[in-house]
Structure 1
């Protein structure tokens, strides 16, 4: 029994140092970084749609049989190019008939003038009556009016003959033709013969909520307003479009249904190098396509940028934990701006120079004392990379 008690006493005394290792620990180790200002390009994203600056529906101005189509669907055309031809002979005949009516009216007018001169002569000699003179004057005026009407009919017939060649009013790309030669066309057709949309430049139209519009105005008003920003787009597959645009129009009214404001920007749409004109995909921007619109400042501004992981959120909003002079974590509410990859811009809440905790946040509570070290540095007591492992503790002697 004495030997057993002595063995237990020795065991407990030997275990005392091991139990001491599980005593209270020190402040949690955290990684901190300095909230420093750096150049940042401010930008805001919206959803937009590409629009052609000019868009024209091609329609016939006269009724007739469509004789010829002179273009390939999808090609680019110039202003003044002939697109369709309507059968000409009926309109040429109408023009000749109108000219014949002019000749007849001229003969009638000359005869009326001769009769008027005779009536005046007779009336001056007393052989003619006043009634006869008045009738001759009326007939002369009527013949003159008939001639003017016939001459106007010639101009109308000539104009209608010119309308048999349907011309392009603008430069642009022409779409599909709705009718083929042989069909009767007229101004009353509900569907246009074709549609032409201009290609360069293009417009990008997007809507901005009233709140976002107010924020953009407050941000750029002192820097020059719309001239202080550029507009960039990303295509539907995520590729950035290389050309930048400028805002050309801001609507004067807010849409009452959506509480949003329409903004339009002009953006170049040059032909891609190495692609034949009029070929499919010769220009990157197409009328009607959806794009992501980015409104960004011309010049970068100084702003605080933190890792997104350093920002926490609760019911009170976004906040960070900063280490004060007493090495205690203090909560600081922040207002965030745009996200750049895995980082976020802090627009308000930090003055710069604060030591913000970016690593080990899960072990810290506001007001708690911490053991700060530069973010990315190994924790205290950690073995440096490449250092040999510690030698094993010597084995105890057997009793």
Structure 2
């Protein structure tokens, strides 16, 4: 390399070093601390509105009516006259017991009645004649009294035999075992040829009426006291107990399509569980609800006319375990506020103390909201910002 080329290389190197130095100076000049305003926080303004308060209680279904079929006379089962698991009507014959002995007893009772009625006729005629003769002193008074007494005894014999005939007829009718109620009949515990006895302990079958159906749910006595206290204080407006609507959640978590009506509330607290029973009546046209199913009932307690709801994401706990929120107060500064909450309503807390309409609760940017520091309050939006035009959603997410 000659001398001229060396000078050119040295000059180029010096020029580049100068340019880097100037650029670094400019970057240092512009890299000072930026001037910015107070941090932004997302807030929600508190409002009051009437809401329906509900409670979710566990319980089980039970049939509207249930009847155990038992024989009222003894004998051998001749025939079962129903199909297990089908619907039967009240008065439908279910079993036929051998009626031979009861038919004989019925015939014997009818014969005894006929004999007593035949004996009554001459005694009645004799008493009527003696009544006429005693009036003219043709017979003694004693003979007339004896005839009258015999007439009454004969009439009593007829009445007694009529009762025996009726009892025999009833027993003969009981040989046809009938359904006491309409409903779905279960399995039969006896077969053709089985011997049954009158009023035996074991039922022959069980019939259950499944439309409508009862749902019995349990509520703690503490909840009952709280509800009564809130009603007395006017915090909630009670509904007519005979018209309160109840909804159901089935075992698989799905909702039952029909609404029920609250019909009954137990007046005694169960000492073993500390709870009371609420009974609701549900229509069951498709017999989707079967006796003994576990369900959860959603019962409406009443209406809170001035309810205050706060999203759960805005509520935290202090070291004492008290619920608290951060609010934007006077001079746009952050203020911690201890509140009292009673329950959740959806994804909100129901606030009973500590907040009023118009308060601004911080939901977003809480980590930047230090107590006493000024902030810029903007309305909170739960929707994510839309990506800029021309940038796909996946690219915006990566960015």
Q: Distance in 2 between matches of 1:182 and 1:371?
A: 90
TM-score (norm 2): 0.76
- 1:30 to partner: Cα distance: 3.5
Residue number in structure 1 paired with 2:336? 330
Query: Aligned runs of 1:134-173 on 2, under 5 Å?
Result: 138-173=149-184
Partner of 1:317: 322
Matched, 1:286 2:290: yes
**Mapping of residues 149-298 of structure 1, within 5 Å:** 149-217=160-228, 218-219=230-231, 222-227=237-242, 229-271=244-286, 283-296=287-300
Would you say the 8 A contact 1:31–1:372 is kept in 2? yes
Contact 1:329–1:369 (8 Å) recurs in 2: no
5 Å matches for 1:1-399? 30-37=41-48, 40-110=51-121, 112-113=123-124, 130=142, 138-217=149-228, 218-219=230-231, 222-227=237-242, 229-271=244-286, 283-296=287-300, 303-314=307-318, 315-326=320-331, 327-340=333-346, 342-362=347-367, 364=369, 366-367=371-372, 369-376=374-381, 385-386=387-388
Query: Which SS does the other structure have where 1:109 is aligned?
Result: helix
User: How big is each residue's C-alpha offset from its partner over 1:211-234, in whole Å with a ceiling of 9 and x where there is no partner?
Assistant: 312343435974543256311111
**Residues 1:298 and 1:174: Cα distance change in structure 2 (over 3 Å):** farther
Distance 1:227 1:26, change over 3 A: farther
Equivalent position SS for 2:330: coil
1:19–1:129 distance in 2 versus 1, CA, 3 Å: closer
Contact 1:42/1:301, CA 8 A, preserved across alignment: no
Distance 1:181 1:368, change over 3 A: farther
Kindly report the root-mean-square deviation, in angstroms, between the aligned alpha carbons of the 2 structures: 4.0
Q: 1-side partners of 2:294 and 2:120: how far apart?
A: 67
Q: Find the residue that maps to 2:189 and give its secondary structure.
A: coil
CA distance in 2, matches of 1:376, 1:113: 104
Aligned-residue offset at 1:134: 6.2
Query: In 1, Cα distance between the equivalents of 2:294 and 2:79?
Result: 36
Structure 1 residue runs of 5 or longer lacking an equivalent are 1-12, 272-282, 389-399
Q: CA deviation at 1:333?
A: 0.9
CA distance in 1, matches of 2:311, 2:342: 12
Q: Given that residues 335 and 349 in structure 1 are in contact (C-alpha distance below 8 angstroms), is that contact kept between their aligned partners in structure 2? A: no
Report the Cα distance in structure 1 between the residues aligned to 2:296 and 2:149, rounded to whole angstroms: 74
| C-alpha distance in 2 between matches for 1:55 and 1:375 | 57
2:238–2:302 CA contact under 8 A, matched in 1: no
CA distance in 1: counterparts of 2:127 and 2:380, whole angstroms: 113
Shift in Å at residue 294 of structure 1? 0.2
Change (3 A) 1:253 1:17: farther
SS in 2 for 1:331: strand
Q: Which moved more, 1:308-317 or 1:242-251?
A: 308-317
Determine the C-alpha separation between the residues in 2 that align with 1:384 and 1:202. Answer: 51
Q: Indicate if the aligned counterparts of 1:47 and 1:290 stay in contact, CA closer than 8 A.
A: yes
In the alignment, the residues of structure 1 paired with residue 141 and residue 328 of structure 2 have an alpha-carbon distance, to the nearest angstrom, of 122
**1:137-167 Cα shifts (integer Å, max 9, x gaps):** 5544433322221111000011111112222
